[in-house]
Structure 1
């Protein structure tokens, strides 16, 4: 499928800038090589048209085309064809010829790689053939000092401009890639890490704890009776509750802590380098703050949290066992009355901190 629409228009805008500059500098390069040959008036008009008017016409042609991407590739081939034509019109003057062909080759390979470079060379050869039919070229083996100086702006300014355009495009692509990666790892409703991204972070933390022989804790957080909230107050209210919990997590966790939405009404937190007792205090304080929130849209809505905590255990073979400990603690919190923090330590599920029960 050929790229169309926005991408094609973006390419047309980028090439409009480079073509306008390149052909203006090209005119400065070609004119001193052609004028001493006493060209006919039509050739002078053609040279002015190609160097001054063609960039604007090419842009409008591409912009108004239903397939701007294909239109720009056609315009680039026309550029290559006219470049070959001017090589013959200059009677193969060495320096202007080399500069003209190399600048066009650089442009073509930057746009379409080796394949388009070869297509552009074929167009240049065709342009030379057209020029050969119109002129009787005589090889001019020498380049005058004026012609040499006239080539310098094209040799210096155009590669700089093309490099800047390529840099901006690379920077924009890199930014888009980073944004897409962030979106692929983020839960759209809460802005926290999604299930897969958080589990990746858990694996990294598990490996770090094993390697550095340091502790830490993880928490699984469940919103009590969340289905009843959705059924009673509606899914909009449920979404507000989810966003409120994510906001509380962002406001009350350390920069080094990693929070995510594990799924549905379940959240998860990695607490690096935190003893279990301190993790219990932090999670119980978070539970207390969340249960004290009010909801203007639904004043009667009351929400609480059940939280399961598990400390890092060096005897575990993988991060899944660590997560399973937290899951067992969460299950115990939900089955023993909810609205509380339960922790899993030394293979036992212990009720370390109570909520408002």
Structure 2
């Protein structure tokens, strides 16, 4: 909040235009309230300074400060101080006094809450005391027609302007919240779903499949010998390999498929409304595309994938069981020589087993 390039400076910028507008129309209100009292010339000069010069000076003061947020809080207190001064200078004429002080209190509520409201109220009392000492006490309880009309812009236009600023801020906060929500669900390196978000989707898809008896397949993907890639080429290249695989997943999968980074060099995919054969074709296509990747600067770099698939079946009790079967298929693929796709199957009632699809036997190496 206190950095010159952070939220403190944006806070000062956000208040700048409302202050220029508010002080400008507030000047009309104060001039109408003080004119019948024939104040000395220095009061008129100070009035013009406060209404026309101070908003720009306050912004420059905050923007050039080492702590713009704190500087702008100080400026708001000074606004309240000057508001109290003008209330006493108008001899507390009810309509213009209430208009000026209530608008400044509104600023303090929106900008700093209860604490700033309290500081602003004390500043208003201080400003009143200064005006009484300099100009003498007085009380004017009747508002003229001119004062009524001069107060109308402040009572109508300024709340609209402040409301618009608050609305724009609410839109920005909602967008920031949406972005933060998206970041909390994605893996920072690959941009895919992170472990927790993908497992939540897995549970939802499991419940959907059980309820509607629909097809779905999950896949666990492991980069073969990834540790050796890191040891040989370095972790920077290892990260590039992870990003390359995530990019291939986006290119290969359909729009409704849900891919994530399960952890380390393991990736996970949910293929809804997909048969076993379709899933095998998709994963084989992914395996071939990744395997054909070549980097001219690293001619010895080779990437291969071991993939375990598990179609949804009524024998699966939970989403964790579903995931466990895909995991077993993955480790069977790795144990059988890697760089291949394996599918988990229920061999018979009460038991679980694994086998490689007959049309994928040629993939084993």
Per the alignment, residue 101 of structure 1 pairs with 101
3-state SS, counterpart of residue 218 of structure 1: strand
Q: For residue 267 of structure 1, what is the aligned residue in structure 2?
A: 267
> What is the aligned counterpart of 1:351 among 337, 349, 356?
356
**Is the 8 Å Cα contact of residues 337 and 364 (structure 2) preserved in structure 1?**
no
**TM-score (structure 1 length as normaliser):** 0.93
Which residue number corresponds to residue 349 of structure 2?
none
Q: Provide, for residues 185-210 of structure 1, a one-character-per-residue CA deviation record: whole Å limited to 9, x for no partner.
A: 22232221222222222222223323
Which secondary structure does the structure 2 equivalent of 1:245 belong to?
A: helix
CA distance in 2, matches of 1:231, 1:112: 54
Instruction: Give the superposition deviation at 1:250.
Output: 0.2
Q: Summarize the alignment of residues 282-293 of structure 1 with structure 2, pairs less than 5 Å apart.
A: 282-293=282-293
Cα distance in structure 2, aligned partners of 1:90 and 1:317: 79
Q: How high is the TM-score relative to the length of structure 2?
A: 0.91
Distance 1:196 1:39 in 2: 70
Task: Tell me the matched-pair count.
Answer: 356
Whether the aligned pair in 1 keeps the contact of 2:88 and 2:128 (CA below 8 Å) is yes
CA RMSD of aligned residues (A): 1.9
Structure 2, unpaired ranges of 5+: 347-351
Q: Which runs of 5+ in 1 are unaligned?
A: none
Alignment map for 1:1-357 (pairs within 5 Å)? 3-5=2-4, 6-346=6-346, 347-352=352-357, 353-354=360-361, 355=363, 357=365
Instruction: For residue 342 of structure 1, give the secondary structure of its aligned residue in structure 2.
Output: strand
Single out whichever of 157-166 and 314-323 deviates more from structure 2.
Answer: 314-323
CA-CA distance at 1:324 after TM superposition = 0.7
Change over 3 Å in CA distance of 1:72–1:334 after alignment to 2: same
Structure 1 pair 63/251, CA: closer, same or farther in 2 (3 Å)?
Answer: same
Residues in 1 aligned to 2:87 and 2:128: alpha-carbon distance in whole angstroms = 7
Once the two structures are TM-superposed, the CA of residue 323 in structure 1 deviates from its matched residue by: 0.9
Work out whether residues 214 and 273 of structure 2, in 8 Å CA contact, stay in contact via their aligned partners in 1.
yes
Deviation, 1:135, is 3.2
CA 1:175 to 1:76, structure 2 compared with 1: closer, same or farther past 3 Å? same
Distance (Å, rounded) in 2 between the aligned partners of 1:204 and 1:217: 13
**Partner SS for 1:35:** helix
The 2-side partners of 1:74 and 1:231 are apart by 56
1:332 aligned counterpart, secondary structure: helix
Separation (CA, whole Å) in 2 of partners of 1:273 and 1:249 = 18
Closer/same/farther in 2, CA of residues 71 and 240 from structure 1, 3 Å limit: closer
Name the CA distance, whole Å, in 2 between partners of 1:11 and 1:67: 11
